Structure 1
Amino acid sequence: MEWQQIIGFHHLVKQGSFTRAASASYRTQSALSQQIKKLEDEFQCQLINRVSRKKFILTPAGERFYKFVASLMAEHDKLSDDISAIRGLPHGKLIIAAPFTTLYHLFPEQFKSFLETHPYVELTILDRPQTQAIEMVRTGDIDIAIALESQVPSILNSRRWRKVETVLIVPDKHPLVKIRGISLSDIAGYPLILPPRSIETRKCIDELFDKEGIAYRVIMESGNVELSSRYVEAGIGISFARIASGLNPLRGRAIAFLPLTEYFEDDYLAVVSRRGKSLPSYAEDFITLILKGIDNKQSRAKAQP
Structure 2
Amino acid sequence: MNSNDLKIFEAAATLGSFTKAAEATFTVQSNVTARIKNLEEEFGAELFKRVSRKVVLTEAGYTLLQYAKKIGSLLDDAKSDIQSVDKIGGTIRIGCIETTMALKVPEIIKTFAELYPLVELEFHSAVLPTLIRDVIDYKLDAAFVAAPINIPGLEQLIVRDEQLVVIAAKDGDDLETILKQDPLKIVVFGQGCFFRARLETWLGSKGILRYKSTIVNSIEGIINFVEAGLGISILPAEVVNLYYQNRNIKTFPVSKELATMTTLLIYRNDDLPSKALNAFLNQYKS
TM-score bracket, normalised by the shorter chain, equals 0.7 to 0.9
Q: Is 2:242 the counterpart of 1:248?
A: yes
CA-to-partner distance for each residue in 1:143-173, whole Å, 9 max, x for gaps?
A: 11111122x2332222122322221213345
2:187–2:226 CA contact under 8 A, matched in 1: no
CA contact (8 A) 2:95 2:131 kept: yes
Q: Is residue 285 of structure 1 aligned with residue 282 of structure 2?
A: no
Choose from 179, 204, 213 the match for 1:188: 179
Contact 2:81 2:88 in 1 (8 A): no
Change beyond 3 A, Cα 1:211–1:163: closer
Q: Distance in 1 between matches of 2:227 and 2:140?
A: 37
Aligned counterpart, 1:103: 101
Q: What does 1:1-305 correspond to in 2, within 5 Å?
A: 1-41=1-41, 46-58=46-58, 60=60, 62=61, 65-66=64-65, 69-91=68-90, 93-111=91-109, 114=112, 118=116, 121=119, 123-150=121-148, 152-155=149-152, 156-172=154-170, 174=172, 176=174, 185-189=176-180, 192-195=185-188, 198=191, 199-214=193-208, 218=212, 220-222=214-216, 224-244=218-238, 248-262=242-256, 264-288=258-282, 291=284
Q: Which amino acid aligns with 1:128?
A: A
Cα distance, 1:68 vs. partner? 5.3
The 1:56–1:240 alpha-carbon spacing in structure 2 relative to 1, beyond 3 Å, is: closer
Residues of 2 paired with 1:80 and 1:57: CA distance? 29
- Deviations along 1:104-157, one digit per CA (max 9) or x if unpaired, are 33213433564576565454332322221122112222111111122x233222
Determine if contact 1:8/1:32 at 8 Å carries over to the other structure: yes
- Residue of structure 2 equivalent to 1:299: none
Q: Tell me which structure has the larger Cα radius of gyration.
A: 1
Unmatched 5+ stretches in structure 1: 177-181, 296-305
SS at match of 2:155: strand
* Cα distance change on mapping 1:117 and 1:203 into 2, 3 Å: closer
Q: Is the 8 A contact 2:89 2:120 kept in 1?
A: no
Q: How big is each residue's C-alpha offset from its partner over 1:6-45, in whole Å with a ceiling of 9 and x where there is no partner?
A: 3322333344433453344333333222222333455666
Runs of 4+ aligned structure 1 residues displaced above 6 Å come to: none
Q: Distance in 2 between matches of 1:189 and 1:45?
A: 61
SS in 2 for 1:86: coil
Paired residue type of 1:97: G
State the distance in 2 between where 1:44 and 1:233 align: 62
1:302 is matched with none
Q: Secondary structure at the match of 2:124?
A: strand
Look up the equivalent residue of 2:10 and give its one-letter code.
H
Q: Secondary structure at the match of 2:54?
A: coil
Paired letter, 2:160 = R
For the residue of structure 1 that corresponds to 2:27, the secondary structure is: coil
CA 174–212 in structure 1, closer or farther in 2 if over 3 Å, else same:
closer
- Code of the aligned partner of 1:189: K
- Report how far residue 230 of structure 1 moved: 1.9
Instruction: State the SS of the aligned residue for 2:242.
Output: coil
1:219 & 1:42 partners in 2: Cα distance? Answer: 53
How many correspondences in the alignment?
Answer: 282
CA pair 248-153 structure 1, distance change in 2 beyond 3 A: farther
CA distance in 2: counterparts of 1:29 and 1:140, whole angstroms: 26
CA-based RMSD:
3.6
* C-alpha distance after superposition, 1:70-96 (max 9, x if no partner): 5543442343244234232523x4222
Shift in alpha-carbon separation, 1:27–1:153, aligned structure 2, 3 A: farther
What are the superposed Cα offsets for residues 218-254 of structure 1, whole Å, 9 maximum, x if unpaired? 3734453322222332344433223458973222323
TM-fit CA distance, 1:261 = 3.2
